[in-house]
Amino acid sequence: MMKKEALIIWNDFYHPKEVLATAVEKLFPASEWNVRKTERARDLLDSRRPDLTVFFTNGRPEGETDLTFAEQSQIVDQVFGGMGILFYHAGLVLIDEESPFYKELNSGRFVHHPEQSDVTVTPLCNVRHPITEGVRVFCQNDEHYFCQVDVARTHLLACATSAHLTSASVWCHDYGKGRVAGISQGHTLEMQNDPEMLKLATNALNWLTDVNAGSRP
């Protein structure tokens, strides 16, 4: 079986790679994936398009500016051409409401989070989708990300609930020949490595790439 190519954007001050490494190793077994890791989102602009890009952070190391709207549009075009893209927790940060990432591609963006607390992720009971297939309700201590999600342009699959409120947590849609997904939770080791979260994320990776086999130029 031909391995899939993934670019992982990770590692910042609040979300160090050491915290993510255990989950990433489980999500990307070497028998199935060739993985390249970077701290810079701009590396995606300078390399061959992978089957999948995962934003675990916003990909802006200290001293670098945010991706410009023009640079975001280049990534949007890569997804339209067949790449899968996942915005996972901190990958949803610093997405401007007027940006191509929000208005054209992802339809979701981080707005705020309170102090860490128990957060319950609940797949919608009346929605069936490969990403939430077999995933049960799960709860862990985490940062509850409150996200703005344009549900007119994406499919809402799950919500997250804490003592504060219930908010959109998992969403996805096709975009051109590619696919897009967002997962709002995943700050703590406990949340990242919860068996149901790992199942959810694995399902997402598979769904995002099952249309892309052999599609790279």
Query: Which tens digits make up the pLDDT trace of 181-192?
Result: 999 999 999 999
Mean pLDDT value across the chain: 94
Q: pLDDT at position 91, please?
A: 97
pTM of the model: 0.95
The C-alpha angle 56, 7, 9, rounded to 5 degrees, equals 30
Q: pLDDT at position 48, please?
A: 86
If pLDDT is split at 50, 70 and 90, which confidence band does 216 have?
very low
pLDDT, one tens digit per residue, over 72-90 is: 999 999 999 999 999 999 9
Token pair listed for 174: 């096709």
Is residue 65 predicted with pLDDT exceeding 60? Answer: yes
Cα distance between residue 63 and residue 83, in whole Å: 28
Structural domains in the chain, CATH included, are 4-209 (3.40.50.880)
Compute φ and ψ for 178, nearest 5 degrees: -110, -175
Q: For residue 153, how many C-alpha atoms fall within 13 Å in the half-sphere facing its CB?
A: 15
Q: Are 178 and 83 in contact (CB under 8 A)?
A: yes
Residue 60 backbone zone (phi > 0: left; psi -120 to 50: alpha; other: beta): beta
Residue type, 93: V
